[in-house]
Amino acid sequence: MPDYDLLVFDWDGTLADSIGRIVDAMQHAAASCDLAPRDATQVKGIIGLGLPEAILSLYPQLDEAAVGAFRDQYAQRYIALEATPSPLFDGVLEGLERFRRDGFQLAVATGKARRGLDRVLKAHGLDTFFDITRAADETRSKPHPLMLEEILQHCGVGPERALMIGDSAFDLQMARNAGMPCVAVGYGAIELKALLAYEPVLAIDRFPQLTAWLQPGEPLSARSE
């Protein structure tokens, strides 16, 4: 049985099936700002960063004002797309509820801004569910470890007793920078094989595999459902 006290989840591409909408909003913003388009693979490669950092990664030539204009276009498009919230992946809600019953502390560490994170948490009835959530605009962007260090301090847990679960290289590099083990998620932004270099303790292509792995005495058949 893996021995952890705290589970920290990325949001987009790990808990919520929102990657397609992020790509759409990024491409819409680029077109609105008369910038050369970036393809879906390029956009997926920056998911996990805070939005200003993501924009500059795709368009390093932009000045502060241009980044602000791009950010406004992105936000307008994304909020419109999220009029119906991106669904949680299969097994996520059941898994989170099981983790809570089993006594884990639970947290979210996301590249979203606080306003966006609060909006989606409320939409899914999870606004009071997690012990702590951290958003990119109130701390340092991934892969800097500050976000995780703040979560660990709040929860009173050492990094070796916590687990970061994410679908991007930024998630797993952040965990490495914090001295925390990680789980690689292969159904989000990045293919699983590209995340194995970060030496995750577990690699999954469906959320229920994590739930089964963290449950003592689960029958082996349950691990492949």
Write out pLDDT tens, residues 104-115.
999 999 999 999
pLDDT of residue 155: 97
Beta strand 132-135 with 162-166 is unpaired
Q: pLDDT (tens digit, 9 = 90+) per residue, 42-70?
A: 999 999 899 999 999 999 999 999 999 99
Q: How far apart are CA 98 and CA 89, in angstroms?
A: 15
Does residue 225 surpass a pLDDT of 70?
Answer: no
Asked whether the predicted pLDDT for residue 221 surpasses 90, the reply is no
Tell me the average pLDDT across 73-79: 94
**Hey, which residues are catalytic here?**
10, 12
- Asked whether the beta carbons of 102 and 125 are under 8 A apart, the reply is no
Which pLDDT belongs to residue 3?
A: 86
The half-sphere exposure of 22 on its side-chain side, counting CA atoms within 13 A, is: 26
Sorting pLDDT into bands at 50, 70 and 90, what band is 217? Answer: low
Judge whether residue 174 has pLDDT over 70: yes
Look at residue 76 and give its three-state secondary structure.
helix
Q: What's the chain's average pLDDT?
A: 93
| CB contact set of 40 (below 8 Å; sequence gap of 6+) | 23
**Predicted pLDDT of residue 215:** 84
Tell me what pLDDT residue 2 has. 64
> Three-state secondary structure along 2-32?
CCCCEEEECCECCCECCHHHHHHHHHHHHHH
| Residue 220: per-residue pLDDT | 34
Closest CA to 180 of 203, 162, 153: 162
